[in-house]
Structure 1
Amino acid sequence: MDPPAGHRRACDGGEGKGKRLRMSKAKSLGFAPDRLARIDRFLQEKYVGPGRIPCAQFLLARRGETVHQSVLGRQDPERGVALAEDTVFRIYSMTKPVTSVALMTLVEEGAVALDDPVARHIPEWADLGVFSAGAGPYLTTPPARPMQVVDLLRHTSGLTYGFQNRTNVDAAYRKQNLDQIFDGYDLDGMIQALARLPLEFSPGEAWNYSVSTDVVGYLVQKLSGRPLAQALQERIFDPLKMADTGFSVREDQRGRFAACYEAVPGGGMKLQDDPAASPFLGAPKLYSGGGGLVSTAADYMRFSRMLLNGGELDGARILAPKTIRLMASNHLPGGADLTQMSRSLFSESTNAGVGFGLGFAVVFDPPRTLIPCSAGEFYWGGMASTAFWVDPVEEVTAVFMTQLVPSSTYPIRRELRTLVYSALMDSNA
């Protein structure tokens, strides 16, 4: 039997028994165990062994049953600490789907609607203009239409990220420290700072990866009447028993917290965030709904399984099935894909045939992606190369954890999809 979430592997013998049971389960659920075994070899030989990434944890399930788990490398190479099943990771932008789900619980309660003007809930944004010229003060023009709540969820708001380094508006975000979790504004301060800056484009005109989901987090906090951390705890983490997920690393988690590395030219890596001195050990200044959470593979798998199950897991109902289907539909205007709409310096995967829903990317034309996948599959990843996907057609959920920035360094995410679907012998499609 697999060890329960929150427990370290007791011994190699116990892990071996668990692996044999998973292989048997995998076969009964339509996977070829010998082909799933390629995943560990591939990750070890191409990435972990050569020192391209510090560690790799991959958790794969079908119909709610675990069929494969990889636990490779070290969570803290500097101190020789091996990776374990309950290692705690920075998940960065995999926070976005969680925050988006929280907002949708408020949509279901009637506290907000997707077509609400954002200024109805953030009056300070009533006069936001679109950048025309200047480096501060700025020349602006009125937007073609007001920003709506749906624009925040699908990143068509006209907001941006400072790290994109493309425009005068990006530069203003960097100057204002608007991308910073630990050294910048709190949520209220972020909203006030954004009120003084122009939009990059008129809402709905383009797709641009941005602080939009941080604004979603602000709306969750304001509309729920709870601090964002408490709202997520009450609405998602407690019901789903996600005991290791939060905005900081608790004292009892410190021995399980992974080191984060940065890729260097030539294929190596250098320490980027020491787990013994990380800012994640303390409370953040900005409770970032766009990138502030830490979590484990087991916790995020529970979140993913809830999404696959139409909003419910183990008797805990988070959202209704219709709401999940709405979230997992392409909401880009005109049914466009990201190659047609994106203005971002952004690379989560090849984006042909991929749109964007309410909190994550959505595949709507699988052949154009050039990788094995299903229509209706949805997914996202984080800055430290973490990733998840949910495939409703094949009833598959997958969570990948490592700690290497930036996420565009290696094509691990698409490689994992190929490895998984090349092992699926009993397809529902």
Structure 2
Amino acid sequence: MLTPEIDPADAGFDAARLARIDRHFTRYVDEGKLPGFLAVIARDGQVVHTAKGGMADIEAGRSVAEDTLWRIYSMTKPITSVAAMLLWEEGAFELKDPVAKFIPAFADARVWAGGNQNSPVTRPAVEPVRLWHLLTHTAGLTYGFHYAHPLDGVYRKAGYEFGSPGDLAQAVDDWARLPLLFEPGTEFNYSVSTDVLGRVVEVISGQPLDAFFKERIFEPLGMTDTAFSATDPDRLAALYEPGLARNDRMGRAALHTPAMLSGGGGLIGRAADYHRFTSMLVREGAPLLAPRTLRYMARNHLPGGAELKDVARPTISETQNDGMGFGLGFSVVLDPAGTKIATHPGELAWGGLASTAFYVVPQERLSVQFFTQMIPSSAYPLRSQLRQLVYQAMTD
């Protein structure tokens, strides 16, 4: 569970300052901005402080509890990235390998050259889509829900805005036949890349993604309550939009295993499980990955060592762009002064559509998670405020 395991002072925290986290996010609940929340702060894998308040399900009168189940959406992506790197450590692929080696439909990729949603103009890609492009969202893929470029509309027209009309194999083949937004490896666009990566994991391992996750990540880490559907519907938090409008149209999807196992956004789990995952990152990969692998994943892999602000398309993402790079599966802080957030170089982070978030600072042996169920994640500045409140509570 998430009961504090160590005295805050012994972990380098001021208990009175940690209490500011509780008060701050409780105000969000009291003002009707959030249904409820749960925050977990840990050092060296030991829980230092938990803050929780409000309701997991307002209409049912059910309070947030330590075992509440949350839709983590894009916080699935780092898990899929770790899954891929487990196979990389076994020599199953090289980061420069073309994706077409495992998914033949990518062999004849074409790049958007003009036109409109109904009549795209394309040209052959010069550079193949490679595995490292999937891990860094530099493949030229997109999301139908961006509404930022005509190609996003092409995805929607094919049935890919949220969810999928078929299984993962079918979705990936469909995406491979659509134009790429740009030449692979030249820009960053938040996209279905991690879903494609999940399909690569399936092809290489010969296992469905849920089975691979369970065998290679969830069971070794003790993540017993994380899956592609709610393990216990009675503990599932409801999904809300601003104004605390309940969204059951999207929310009910968590009650059933989907046809498409989305490595980019499909997992539901409890905070204690994700704490186990972030503790693994604090331990530089142990017991799943070798330390050098995790350290390599935590480097900035954007083209030319650029910051996100220089290469990222202006689409919805789960991080800010200033001062940030991107590694193999998560954002990486390059310039804390540039972020204008009290943070640390090398901080790894990502978030999810429903305003969940995590960040890890291996150098500080720190992991932080935040859970709520408010879409979109841009509704409130929860993530920057969480960092501000955690860092101000640290005494060493």
Instruction: Look up the match of 1:325.
Output: 295
Instruction: Look up the match of 1:176.
Output: 158
Identity of aligned residues (%): 49
Q: SS at the partner of 2:23?
A: helix
Asked if residue 377 in structure 1 is aligned to residue 338 in structure 2, the reply is no
Asked if residue 296 in structure 1 is aligned to residue 292 in structure 2, the reply is no
Aligned ranges for residues 11-410 of structure 1 at < 5 Å? 25-45=7-27, 47-134=28-115, 135-181=117-163, 183-250=164-231, 253-263=232-242, 268-273=243-248, 278-312=252-286, 317-410=287-380
Alignment-mate amino acid for residue 145 of structure 2: F
CA deviation after TM superposition for structure 1 residue 224, in Å: 0.5
Contact (CA 8 Å) 2:71, 2:373: kept in 1 or not?
Answer: yes
Count the aligned residue pairs. 395
Q: SS at the partner of 1:38?
A: helix
Q: SS at the partner of 2:329?
A: coil
Q: Distance in 2 between matches of 1:89 and 1:394?
A: 27
Alignment-mate amino acid for residue 41 of structure 1: R
Alignment-mate amino acid for residue 285 of structure 1: A
CA deviation after TM superposition for structure 1 residue 274, in Å: 7.5
- After superposition, the C-alpha distances for 1:274-331 in whole angstroms (9 at most, x for unaligned) are 79x812111101100000000111100100000110111xxxx211001101111100
Alignment-mate amino acid for residue 150 of structure 2: N
Q: Distance in 2 between matches of 1:408 and 1:347?
A: 9
Contact (CA 8 Å) 1:165, 1:171: kept in 2 or not?
Answer: yes
Alignment-mate amino acid for residue 376 of structure 2: P
Q: Distance in 1 between matches of 2:61 and 2:378?
A: 26
CA deviation after TM superposition for structure 1 residue 143, in Å: 2.1
Q: Distance in 1 between matches of 2:66 and 2:273?
A: 11
Alignment-mate amino acid for residue 151 of structure 1: H
* TM-score of the pair, normalised by structure 2: 0.97
CA deviation after TM superposition for structure 1 residue 96, in Å: 0.2
Q: Distance in 1 between matches of 2:52 and 2:234?
A: 17
- After superposition, the C-alpha distances for 1:102-135 in whole angstroms (9 at most, x for unaligned) are 0000100111111101111111111111011333
Compute the RMSD of aligned alpha carbons: 1.5
CA deviation after TM superposition for structure 1 residue 381, in Å: 0.1
CA deviation after TM superposition for structure 1 residue 386, in Å: 0.0
Contact (CA 8 Å) 2:7, 2:48: kept in 1 or not?
Answer: yes
- After superposition, the C-alpha distances for 1:58-117 in whole angstroms (9 at most, x for unaligned) are 000011111110121010001101110010000000000000000000100111111101
Contact (CA 8 Å) 2:284, 2:362: kept in 1 or not?
Answer: no
What 5-or-longer segments of structure 2 have no aligned partner? Answer: none
Q: SS at the partner of 1:393?
A: helix
Q: Distance in 2 between matches of 1:309 and 1:101?
A: 14
Alignment-mate amino acid for residue 151 of structure 2: V
Contact (CA 8 Å) 2:281, 2:362: kept in 1 or not?
Answer: no
Alignment-mate amino acid for residue 365 of structure 1: D
Instruction: Look up the match of 1:14.
Output: none
Q: SS at the partner of 1:79?
A: coil
Alignment-mate amino acid for residue 63 of structure 1: D
Q: Bigger shift: 77-86 or 138-147? A: 138-147
Q: SS at the partner of 1:236?
A: helix
